[in-house]
Amino acid sequence: MRIRSEIHVSVGTSVFLTLLSLTATVNCHSFETVYSWKEIDFNFPNDSIRQEYTASGDYIQKNNAPVGINIWRNKLFVTVPRWKKGVPANLNYIDLSQTENIEMSPALTPYPDWDTNDIHSSSSNAIVSIFRVRVDKCNRLWGLDTGIDDIVGDNNVVAPPTLIVIDLTTDKIIRRYPLKDSDQKADSFFADMVVDVEADSCDNAYAYISDLGGYGLVVYSWAENNSWRVSHNYFYFDPLQGDYNVNGINFQWTDGIFGLSLSEKQQPLGYKTLYFHAMSGITEFEVSTIILKNETTATSSNNYYDFEVAGIKGELTQGPSCVIDTETGIDYFTHVNRNGIGCWDTSVKLTPDTFHILAEDAEKLRFPNDLAIRSENRKLYVLADNFAEFLNLDISLRETNYVITAASLDTLANECKCQSY
């Protein structure tokens, strides 16, 4: 997300929050709290190291806000970008088998280890600041490291933007790919990606990476170990949809293409559809991966008609993340202006009438930032992180600021489909 914004906090914020928490709830019973925190803590190797980090300013607890989640088996990955000083570990996980239904506010464990997350180490291979991580069908974890520490402060560039891929079966980084200069613009800010691969052809993988600040899409080919930047008018923000009011905090963002979701293979050609939208926008767009995988076609100045408008979601549906449940074809979305979660059955035309709000809650879903699907229990997980308050004000340590909820995908699918016809 771009950090240049005008912030206005209403005088009646506390009253607004109270009223909103009482009234803005739609089917929220579907989402149950899995974890919640007032502040984020970490599993330091020992108390001595914790004290060293605290004394040096490398750990300032209130400056740590989770932004991204994903799940592989019993690991719930949580990213804590280095927005401010004092973030000791960017990439972390929670062991679901040891904490779910047992510990409500578990400490985060750095992944793959502490050393890899230590940006002050002599190693040049430290993970600096990944926003979203995605797990592919080949047991690999993908993330785009922006390489920046203290983003809203000193904006310290530690490393160039780099694609990092980790083998989850060995916990080893198996590929680092620094983006090319031609992949970036002066205002580039890479925040999300999806991975296109099948389990029987792991070397034929592609990553699609959204650039919300430079208004572009970067395609990476695993087999070619090469990347190319795609440009299109649909990657820009909607100037009428950049005004936000989140829990009494008013601000303006100009974020372009952000949320990405990928369909299953479609016949007869066997390619997939990439759905995408701007953070500051309420329109969903689509493009076939047959276009994106061909560098010549994707980067052509004549690619305008290769992209299509999928439809409009409706008012106040701006949000960063989306994910498709490939078993049902339902696309799920986060909505920060509504503190809500929405859905669209991709088998029908997208309109405000076929797009549905599944839940709104100013406490459990306060600024829903990311989504993840866990196939083992068929649940949709939501990370809400009170981000508007974290970024623009000092968070209150007297209240819950970060919440992970989950809901049954089968229940959500029934609610979504019954409203779509």
pLDDT for res 421: 55
pLDDT band at 419 (very low <50, low <70, confident <90, very high): low
Any domain includes 3: no
Percentage of residues in the chain having pLDDT higher than 90: 85
* Beta strands in 96-152, from DSSP E residues, in sequence order: 109-110, 130-135, 140-145, 148-149
Q: Is pLDDT above 70 for 166?
A: yes
Q: Is residue 1 assigned to a domain?
A: no
Domain count, the chain: 1
Q: For residue 13, name the pLDDT band (cuts at 50, 70, 90).
A: very low
Q: Is the pLDDT of residue 67 over 90?
A: yes
What strands lie across the sheet with 307-312, from one edge to the other?
Answer: 257-262, 273-278, 283-288, 307-312
Distance CA 312, CA 210 (A): 20
Residue 139 lies in a domain: yes
The predicted-structure confidence for 295-329, as pLDDT tens digits, reads as follows: 999 999 999 999 999 999 999 999 999 999 999 99
40, part of any domain: yes
Domain that holds residue 123: 8-418
**Would 2 be classed as within a structural domain?**
no
Task: Evaluate whether residue 355 is within a structural domain.
Answer: yes
pLDDT of 155: 96
Q: Is residue 210 included in any domain, yes or no?
A: yes
- Of 210-224, 265-279, 319-333, give the lowest mean pLDDT range: 265-279
Is the residue at 32 inside a domain?
yes
- The more confidently predicted of residues 62 and 267 is 62
At 131 the three-state DSSP class reads strand
Q: How confident is the model at residue 1 (pLDDT cuts 50, 70, 90)?
A: low
CATH number for the domain spanning 208: value is 2.120.10.30
**What b-and-e string marks burial along 207-220, b requiring 16 or more CB atoms within 10 Å of the CB?**
bbbbbbbbbbbbbb
The pTM of this model reads 0.93
With CA atoms as reference, report the closest residue to 411 among 380, 373, 370, 371.
Answer: 380
| The pLDDT of residue 348 is above 70 | yes
Segment among 24-28, 135-139, 346-350 with least mean pLDDT: 24-28
